[in-house]
Amino acid sequence: MIELESVGYSYGRSTPLLSDLTVKLARGSFHFLTGPSGAGKTTFLKLCYLELTPTSGRVRIFGHSGSDLGRDHVALSRQKIGVVHQDCRFLDHLSLAENIALPLTVSNRPVPQNDLSDLMAWVGLTQQAGQRPPELSGGERQRAALARAVMTGPDVLLADEPTGNVDWEMSLRLLHLMVELNRMGKTVLIATHDMALIRASRQYVQARVLRLQGGRLTLAGADL
């Protein structure tokens, strides 16, 4: 699905934030990405969905090299990737329901209202369907971001701290949703520093845990 081959990235002329990362997110795999703040987890995710272009190495996405893809192909690839951004960016002039349906809207696909209602109910946002994003709390925005990411039934789900602003009960509900998606054959990568969530996931899914530290990627294990 997504492969990073000796990928490095640096912002400007500073010391590279990421160096020589090689990893493959196979179809149906479930990964966690951990690491201290500033280790480059968000940058790693941005490289995965081609918002950033690596300064060295190559990102392959659905079998194509990211550097060979034109802007339209990048857009089409993103229609198959659901992304939960850490900063939960929405269109403030649209209602929450319209925001969640946005990936379908921009790809000119019909919005199945029943699925939309079910999904909003599942993340506990039925009452907020008509509200504008600025009216929502941090946790509500995070749940809405996850709902938007999975609305299209993407092949890959990339989530950046998806449980950062929600309580433990909701964290587990969101984790269950992502596990369910993984069971449907979707590839899932969750960037988080929430070790409890990673431990909790063990009873539901066999996940690989990647650790970013010092710009390098290692496979975490026993210390979790």
Task: Give residues in contact with other proteins (CB under 8 A).
Answer: 49, 51, 71-72, 75-76, 78-79, 83, 85, 89-94, 98, 102-103, 105-108, 148
Q: Closer to other proteins by CB, 96 or 217: give it.
A: 96
- 82: closest CA among 188, 156, 9? 156
Q: Minimum Å distance from CB 4 to other proteins? A: 19
Q: What's the min distance (Å) between Cβ of 120 and other proteins?
A: 17
The least distance separating other proteins from the CB of residue 133, rounded to whole angstroms, comes to 10
| Closest to other proteins by CB, 150 or 209 | 150
Is residue 36 helix, strand or coil? coil
Nearer to other proteins, 76 or 224 (CB): 76
What are the CA-CA distances from residue 31 to residues 11, 49, 158, 182, 192 (Å)? 25, 15, 10, 10, 11
The position carrying tokens 């433990």 is: 168
Query: According to the 3-state scheme, what is the secondary structure of 55-111?
Result: CEEEEEECCEEHHHCCHHHHHHHHCCEEEECCCCCCCCCCCHHHHHCHHHHHCCCCC
Per-residue tokens: 143: 């749940």
Pairwise CA distance, residues 69 & 160, whole Å: 24
158, β-bridge pairs? 83, 189
Q: How far is the CB of 140 from other proteins (least distance, A)?
A: 17
- Name the residue nearer to other proteins (CB basis): 27 or 93: 93
Min. distance of Cβ 70 from other proteins in angstroms? 10
Question: In the complex with other proteins, which residue's Cβ is closer, 13 or 71?
Answer: 71
